Chains A and B, each alone.
Chain A
Amino acid sequence: MRRQIKTDKGLQARMFLTMFLLAALYLFFALVLWQAGVGYTGMAVVIGGMLLAQYYFSDRMVLWSMGAREVGPAEAPELHALVERLAILADVPKPRVAIVRTPVPNAFATGRSPAHAVVAVTTGLLERLDPPEVEAVLAHELSHIRHRDVAVMTLASFFATVASFLVQHFYYWGWGYGDREGREGRGAAAVVYLVSLVVWIISYFLINALSRYREFAADRGSALLTGAPGQLASALVKISGVMQRIPTRDLRQAEALNAFFIVPALRGESLMELFSTHPSLERRLEYLRRLEREMEGR
């Protein structure tokens, strides 16, 4: 009887609640827009088209903006072999593989569906991590692909984009009511402006929360695929530059330099997390340790 990582009910509940709140918020927003007049549908169509293009060409756009170059199996045989095996394990079509020439260790995945996915790693990542760690990172990215995170996040940010557009381009769209007169039109426009502002702010936090949950889910997917949460933990520590924080300087030397520990350890519990799309490293490491214990049945 093999012990396995159980489904994370808490994570799924939080994810569902966030999506539900977003949907409710967007429904309310759509109602307000509809009440205020029809001048916005044209704009919604335009933005919808933009987002659809973004969704459709996401892989090409992201690769281009990151300066990533696609590589064939001849160029990077080990990398291709790693990706291939993981794809077989995960039962997804093998994504295309790209490399970014930069010493900063990082990786990303994009593409609207598993069939159109690209996984990219930086040269810095390949140089600095051991093969099992690279594999854990690739498994994390492959999990993003399996969970269709590009599609989910594009959909989730649709109305948020509409709202931000309304707030930012208010002078072009807001006051110009052709078919309504005077104060009434202006009042309606002001309401739309305020509602857009509120929707934009709330959706910003909700989308960030959703994004953080997707990160946890991808970490979990990586642990499931590789069966080695410790490798991903090690990779995350190295990527986030905490390698400077896991010391290589000997305790006896360090002790001679600072006999008195003054610098407090920074805790990852802070308001700042609300503003970020990724959970803090501490939280992710904690989560991975929990998965490790689940695998051991403790």
Chain B
Amino acid sequence: MGLWDVLLGRSRVPSARTEPLFTLSTARLTLEAMSGWIPAGRAGLVLRPAEDSAFAAAAQEARDLVGLASQELGSRVQVEGDEYGYTWFVFHDRDWEDLVALTHMAGQTLVEQGYGDRLLAAVFRLEQRETTTPVLYLIFNYKRGSFYPFIPVDHKGKERDTAGEMRLFALLEKELPLEKDLSRWYPLWNNPV
């Protein structure tokens, strides 16, 4: 929002940036080598549905495209809602590159249909070898085009492992476009990914 937008009260919802997602391909190696985080075979995309009829068609198209692509890649797609009324695309695939490609494709389809401003975040799940806790979510904020780590410790008590997140911040800073403003590191508690 520029000065004029503020003065004239023109609020625009910023549109989405999807390209930075591809930086994940290289970051994966750093994650594994430096901190032992490995892909857990799941990623997702969360969006706020719009109320107009055209949106349903756009979402359906994204779904169909992703469905076709996932058959090609041998992966699985689930679509589900959550308690906030958001829609989740959840992708299951052992291959990290496939997950990145599917997520990008789903988001890009919506952007092309003019619904880029509906995209909230993409989420990639990572775990430590041989154990299912803790879980690291790399969250991508479409509006800001940046990533940030989220390591939940206790979903009920809303506790997160800040020290662990800070360490990842240091290690990934040169590899990924990371969110420098800590007040934007919003958690996604109990997400389906």
Contacts and interface: CB of A to CB of B under 8 A. Distances in A.
Nearest to A293: B170
Contact of B120 (A252, A262, A285): A252
Contact of B84 (A132, A250, A262, A293): A250
B32 to A, nearest CB: 13
A31 to B, nearest CB: 48
Given A246-B185, A249-B186, A252-B86, A289 B162 contact: no
B173 interface: yes
Contacts of B187: 247-251
Interface residues of A, number: 39
Contacts of A233: 163, 166-167, 169-170
A261 interface: yes
A132 B185 contact: no
Contact of A261 (B14, B46, B159, B165): B14
Interface string A257-274: 001111001000000000
Contacts of A247: 183-187
Contacts of B84: 250, 252-253, 256
A245 B182 contact: yes
Which of the four size classes fits the interface of chain B? 35 or more
Interface stretch (A18-26, A93-101, A223-231): A223-231
Contacts of A231: 163
A148 to B, nearest CB: 29
A248 to B, nearest CB: 4
A298 B174 contact: yes
Interface of B: 1, 6, 11-14, 34, 46, 48, 82, 84, 86, 120-121, 139, 143-144, 158-160, 162-167, 169-171, 173-174, 180-189
Interface of A: 130, 132-133, 228-231, 233-235, 237-238, 242, 245-256, 259-262, 265, 285, 288-293, 296, 298
Nearest first, the 5 A-B pairs at minimum CB distance are A230-B167, A292-B170, A289-B170, A251-B186, A234-B163
